[in-house]
Structure 1
Amino acid sequence: MFISVPASTHPYDCCVIGSGPAGITLALELAGANRTVLMFETGAARDVREDMPGAVGFGHLDVDHWNRHSIRVLGGTSRVWSGRCLTLMERDFDNPATGVAWPIARADLVPYYRRAAGVVERDPSIVDAERPWCPGFVLRPFSQRAPTRFGLKYFDALERSSKVHVVLGCSVVGLDANASRTVVETANCFHHPTGRMHRLDVGPRSRIVVAGGGLGNAQLLLQPRSDGAVPVGNESGLVGRFLMEHPHFHGVAELVVDEAHDSNELVLAANDEYATRYGLLGSTVICERPTTHHPLADHLAREHGRPFHHYTCAMMSEMLPSAGNRVFLTGERDAAGFYRPGVRCVFGARDLVNVETTLRLLGESLIASGKGRVRIVNDRLYRRAGGGGHIMGTTRMGHDGSTSVVDRHCRVHGYRNLFVAGSSVFPTGGYANPTLTILALALRLADRLVAEQS
């Protein structure tokens, strides 16, 4: 149900900060296990809150990019999600080319990937959608359909639930811990409609889950304390660092295949063995039927045209984690006293060369197998890189509290009751759209919290 203002005490089993895909999925899973949840959302149920300053951008991606993908509304960034779903590959969890390994394996997420498919109204078979195409490369199609807008799809479930209480127009702007910094004891909340600050006392059995997105999670855990102490959750000093995006490249190559295809789109990726042999980062080549830029003509060609040989290629690729790419706080505050975030995101030479190498290897494989050829368009590859709004890595997961923010269970190192949900926990990004992995991790976290409180 929706409530206006939280009580000063916290009788809930879990407090979820953020109502995006991770937050809503987690809250409803906990409610289904008879747990009580208090969920905070800065925005409204339908209208995006736009009266708060957005992020300042430095590097390859500008201010507009970051603010388009940090949405303050019930459902969060699902409001602008394209609807593409794909799992990470096996190698993404321990790719020597990145120098970073996840503390979990793909096998740990497979059952949750299948459950996550249902959350976004997809068939669980998308988890295994992969087949060989040419030597070293596989077809890995995206599951593409109308995107699930979480604030709309799950509004009725939230409204009817007696276990989930949702507070709209309310921002958590700070967390306070006990003297030993092992338990979060209070959350400071700003209620936008009244302009009042509320101090929420957290019960000894309660869990706090920060689920405000790749920018929002870092922004909250970086907020300075009035006593000058290190912000709660940033004892490692790594909150905000290792930010990653998925560099996007459009029209970077042309694919010509000798055998005509009926498919309007071929989505290719190097298989695990090939990628390991050549030290590749994750990337996908998205080969699309050329467009006439005339909607009716394109529709008729798709529905009634003959098989064809030519495709235009775009790419979505992995970005190496680097401590210099990060979320940080500027000196500007909003009405709630929340410091405005800045974002530095610079694509490295290795990120760009990896895309060229992948295209070159694909071309060599096609020629060797007699299937076709690739022509690389160099100026579009090196001068026109964009991003996908996939903000990852800012509270990354790992075994060691000196090199990561959360452990394999998404618990902040050193704390008993503080957790993080979302793509901010990804140690590496692979190339797949992150939504399905975000949901799988949220479902896995829900199971963990239920087990801990049983």
Structure 2
Amino acid sequence: MNKDISADVVVIGAGVCGSLLATRLARTGRSVLLLESGPKIRRSDLVRRYRESAFKSDFMSPYPYSPQAPQPRYTPTPNDYLDQAGPHPFKAQYIRIFGGTTWHWAAQLWRNVPNDFRTQSLYGVGRDWPISYDDLEDYYYQAEVIAGVGGEPDNGSPRKQPFPMERVPASWLQQRVTERLAPEFRVIDDATGRNSRSYDGRPACCGNNNCMPICPIDAQYHGGIAAQQAEDSGVEVITEAVVYQLEHDRDGRITAANYYDWDKNRHRVTGRTFVLAANAIETPRLLLMSASEQFPEGLANRHDMVGRHLCDHPAIGVTFDADEPLWPGRGPVSPCSIGQFRDGEFRSEHAPFRIDISNGSKVASVTKELLKEGYFGRELEEQVRFRSARRLSIKNALEQLPDPENRVTLSDKRDDMGLPTPRLHWSVGAYEQKGTEQVRQYYDRIAEKLGATNVQHSKPGAFSNRQHITGTLSMGHDPATSVTDAWGRAHGHDNLFMVGTGVMPTVGTCNVTLTAMALALRTADRIVEETRHD
């Protein structure tokens, strides 16, 4: 066992939030150690792995699977790492790698709308945050500058300064859909960390339509950039370090983190301040695994709140063929949305939502469809061109209310390191179901306005996950109903902080990464202030 590793701040998890926090702390002169359970892989190797993969529809194909640091896999064969306790499956997908899950995304970086922080007070549903939109506004902007975010200025989230990035020019699909749906539906630019010009040493988007699973030219921001910047700022990085237990003293202060390297040698790391930045599933897992005689239910869990209020955006979709060529597949995969249903008095009755309009290429899915129908030769080629030019896919991001019965616990199964795997309990309630009914009506109206044929709704009662996992480490003023305080500090453990999407009490209607980044920068500043004289 190595007992000689120590730092002022120990950060567990080298995703975008942990990396941003580590960078900010290191630049103040503090010694910072960043522990990551997964490997460090060069971006060029990830691009090559995807280019050479047999199944381009498998968006996890660039990212290596490591039995020592397992992650959920669903294709080609499910690995059942996440124990599904039902009643609905929660098919979360994340990456345990240096840089984290935002290697694999469409770089949507939206702000919440102000009322998202006060749903209980305003609408009698959900939970109020212990902070307001105004508390985060400046941190939102700081995160946007780091990532190079552009978007629609008037998108429901007030701004004191303009976006730091101009928008990527609208694709033909976006232009036509915007024109034809107006004025009933207002289509707006997504807020994205995607370059429209050279920015931070990276090139402008050239329209590869390969934002997911990895941009081939590095034109969009991701956690790999954040993690490398942390290391370049003087953060000591140890990868392939699987933290399995936190130690504490009799006052509840964290004294050490124990981890296995991939050969299962044990190591112990000491520090003054500890920050958990894994994700909203792996962080609760670590807290529960760190149970002790003093804290038999796990750390930060005196009131059995760790892992509860598991939320995502339970999504439904629709595909159809428009009556004109839209040519999806040219430009970014995720360019625009309909955002007019994100807030309103209706939130007291049913879930709000945002409607995402996809610009992803449909050639592969259409070809598969036509082969099943028996097409071949020149007729196949003609039909691929005809259908793929007109096929449109739409999906929603619908707010789920926090429910304490939706939660992360430990299963009876063990991974290759001998550690218990996560068990997920998740259901979609009446509030969300009512919102879904509204979404289907709007889908039909959108299809009608685009002269649609071959309208295919997703199966009733089935929901896909948007991978926007929140709630399991909810911040709040009352330790009886939350895990952390308004700064992300664990209740009952003065020197233990948490960052990431898990601390968000509600999920809202937009991709959650920008809010988590803003919260991480805010927590970093709090740690700096509190440890200024240490």
How many residues matched?
Answer: 427
Q: Which amino acid aligns with 1:165?
A: E
Q: Is 1:143 the counterpart of 2:138 in the alignment?
A: no
| Equivalent residue number for residue 269 of structure 2 | 200
Closer, same or farther: CA 214–313 of 1 in aligned 2, 3 Å: same
* Residue of 74, 82, 89 corresponding to 1:55: 82
Aligned partner (choices 396, 400, 408) of residue 319 of structure 1: 400
Q: What code does the residue aligned with 1:41 have?
A: E
2:417 equivalent to 1:390: no
Correspondence for 1:8: 4
Given the alignment of the two structures, is residue 77 of structure 1 paired with residue 101 of structure 2, yes or no?
yes
CA pair 155-427 structure 1, distance change in 2 beyond 3 A: closer
Q: TM-score, normalised by structure 2?
A: 0.69
Instruction: Say what the alpha-carbon RMSD is for the aligned residues.
Output: 4.0
- For residues 16-27 of structure 1, what are the structure 2 equivalents within 5 Å? 16-27=11-22
Establish whether residue 118 from structure 1 lines up as the match of residue 145 from structure 2.
Answer: yes
Q: How does 1:335-414 map to 2 (within 5 A)?
A: 336-358=417-439, 360=441, 380=458, 382-414=460-492
Partner amino acid for 1:225?
A: A
Q: Which residue, out of 331, 336, 341, partners 2:412? A: 331
Aligned to 1:168: 239
Amino acid at match of 1:93: F
Amino acid at match of 2:246: L
Q: Give the AA of the match of 2:97.
A: V
What amino acid sits opposite 1:443 in the alignment? Answer: L
Structure with the larger strand share: 1
Instruction: Return 393-402 or 246-255, whichever deviates more.
Output: 246-255
Q: C-alpha distance in 1, partners of 2:463/2:438?
A: 16
Does 2:261 align with 1:191? yes
- Higher alpha-carbon deviation: 216-225 or 53-62: 53-62
Stretches of structure 2 lacking an aligned partner (at least 5 in a row): 42-63, 71-80, 158-177, 195-214, 324-330, 369-380
Q: Which moved more, 1:137-146 or 1:166-175?
A: 137-146
Instruction: Give me the whole-angstrom Cα distance separating, in 2, the residues matched to 1:298 and 1:114.
Output: 46
Residue 434 (structure 1) aligned to one of 512, 519, 524: 512
Q: 1:156 to 1:91 in 2, by over 3 A?
A: closer
Partner residue in 2 for 1:33: 28
Change (3 A) 1:344 1:113: same
Structure 2: how far apart are the matches of 1:89 and 1:407? 21
Counterpart CA distance in 1 for 2:230 and 2:457 is 49
Give the Cα separation in 2 of the matches to 1:238 and 1:214. 13
Structure 2 CA distance for aligned equivalents of residues 199 and 150 of structure 1: 26
**C-alpha distance in 2 between matches for 1:350 and 1:252:** 25
**How far is 1:237 from its partner?**
0.8
Structure 1: distance between partners of 2:144 and 2:184? 28
For 1:452 and 1:220, the matched residues in 2 are separated by 25
- Identity within the alignment, %: 28
Other-structure match for 2:197:
none
**1: distance between equivalents of 2:299 and 2:348?**
41
CA distance in structure 2 between the partners assigned to 1:51 and 1:178 by the alignment: 29
Counterpart among 294, 297, 303 of residue 230 in structure 1? 297
Partner of 2:250: 179
Runs (5+) with no aligned partner, structure 1: 257-262
Instruction: Say whether the 8 Å CA contact 1:40–1:167 is kept in structure 2.
Output: yes
> How many Å separate the matches in 2 of 1:412 and 1:127?
36
Residue deviations 1:304-363, cap 9 Å, x none? x9xx9x976422211111111111101233454422111122222321211223555798
Other structure's SS at 1:383 match? coil
1:86 and 1:172 map into 2 onto residues whose CA distance is: 31
Partner of 1:259: none
Distance 1:187 1:265, change over 3 A: closer
Q: Determine if contact 1:255/1:287 at 8 Å carries over to the other structure.
A: no
- 1:127 to partner: Cα distance: 6.9
Give the SS at the match of 1:214. Answer: coil
